Amino acid sequence: MSDWMKIAGIRSSEITDEAVFKKRRQLIQASVAAGLTGMIASDAIADGHALKKPIAKSPFSTDEELTSEKTATTYNNFYELGTDKSDPSRHAQRLKTEPWSVVIDGECDNPGTFTLEDILKPHAIEERIYRLRCVEAWSMVIPWNGFALGDLLTRFKPNSKAKYVAFETLQDNDLPGMQTRALDWPYREGLRIDEAMHPLTMMAIGMYGNTIPNQNGAPMRLVVPWKYGYKSIKSIVRISFVEKQPPTSWNMAAPHEYGFYSNVNPEVSHPRWSQAKERRLSGETSGLAALFSSKVETNFMNGYDEEVASLYSEMDLKKFF
């Protein structure tokens, strides 16, 4: 049994059948339509299966060809471990993930410092095959294992002042990248509370059915599939409910290039390159081969616009990029 299943208290015999996730899909669709995203967690849990059993494959999954596990674990962005794509896997063992604790603070009724087990144990783990589209115009298709971030956040009872959620990565000066000024450490990211609560937003603790490797953000990282990859912050040690839009690492580094929203948008170019297409690192493409792989059109919101468009109906997405 893989570690993440142990951590989440799952027995391999508890894999649920197709009917269960079809039902969950209906629930989620109904809730999204009704704008009741905050209620999804309790509905699914009350349904009896979500608390203890993994759902084999989420209905949110894409059926595109998977990126090979080798590519997904050796071609990475994780600046704390170095800026080269091969640095994170080369220096992976320098990230110490045990013991791990997570601080939950800010505008909520149940703040505290929690062990990893406290954080993960109540959650059913499912597989979601999501594309992750990097702002550097490449993308991968990865089977992530995890659960909806909203299911975690609601446990801490955010109050009415919690308009945003801020996240921070581990800061450890022994990590090779942190001895440089590549970014202003710690790595920081943030979401508006409705984005954080959206059922597509995932806390991942595994990939390809295995515990998530250090270079991919062990022991837990976000995956926000309709936003550029840098929003999917790795190795999270702090989650803060805040009233004002929090500072985020790439936005602080270059505000004209990286906005707070960072929604995948082929119509809003990065000032130095187009975002209209992406190189799909599928199958075994890795390293140099990736540079020569063919380009595919980039979809608005990475193809999730039907699910997330309502979050932005009042906004000019060219201004709030």
Binding site for Mo ion (CB under 5 A): 77, 134-135, 229-230
The smaller minimum CB distance to ligand MTE, of residues 119 and 233, is found at 233
- Tell me the closest approach of the beta carbon of residue 286 to ligand MTE, in angstroms: 12
Contact between 259 and ligand MTE per CB under 6 A: no
- Tell me the closest approach of the beta carbon of residue 12 to ligand MTE, in angstroms: 25
Contact between 187 and ligand MTE per CB under 6 A: yes
- Tell me the closest approach of the beta carbon of residue 9 to ligand MTE, in angstroms: 25
Which of the choices ligand MTE, Mo ion, none does residue 238 contact, using the CB cut-off of 5 to 8 A by kind?
none
- Tell me the closest approach of the beta carbon of residue 295 to ligand MTE, in angstroms: 17
Cβ–Cβ < 8 Å for 149, 195: no
Contact between 246 and ligand MTE per CB under 6 A: no
Give the side-chain half-sphere CA count within 13 A for 16. 23
CA pair distance 178, 95, nearest whole angstrom: 11
In the range 77-136, which residues lie near ligand MTE by CB under 6 A? 77-80, 132, 134
CA pair distance 187, 168, nearest whole angstrom: 6
Helix, strand, coil percentages for the chain (3-state, nearest 5): 30, 25, 45
Judged by CB under 6 A, which stretch of 16-24, 39-47, 106-114, 224-232 contacts ligand MTE? Answer: 224-232
The smaller minimum CB distance to ligand MTE, of residues 154 and 293, is found at 293
Question: What is the residue-wise DSSP string for 122-137?
Answer: TPPPEEEEEEEE-TTS
- Tell me the closest approach of the beta carbon of residue 75 to ligand MTE, in angstroms: 7
Which of the choices Mo ion, ligand MTE, none does residue 80 contact, using the CB cut-off of 5 to 8 A by kind?
ligand MTE
Q: Which stretches of 104-245 are DSSP H helices?
A: 116-120, 149-153, 193-197
Q: How far is CA 92 from CA 151, 189, 218, 287, in A?
A: 29, 21, 10, 17
According to DSSP, the residues that pair with 188 across neighbouring strands are: 168
CA pair distance 231, 237, nearest whole angstrom: 15
Contact between 230 and ligand MTE per CB under 6 A: yes
Cβ–Cβ < 8 Å for 194, 186: no
Choose, by CB under 6 A, the member of 123, 234, 279, 280 that binds ligand MTE: 234
Point out which residues bind ligand MTE (CB under 6 A).
Answer: 76-80, 132, 134, 140, 169, 187, 216-217, 229-230, 232-235
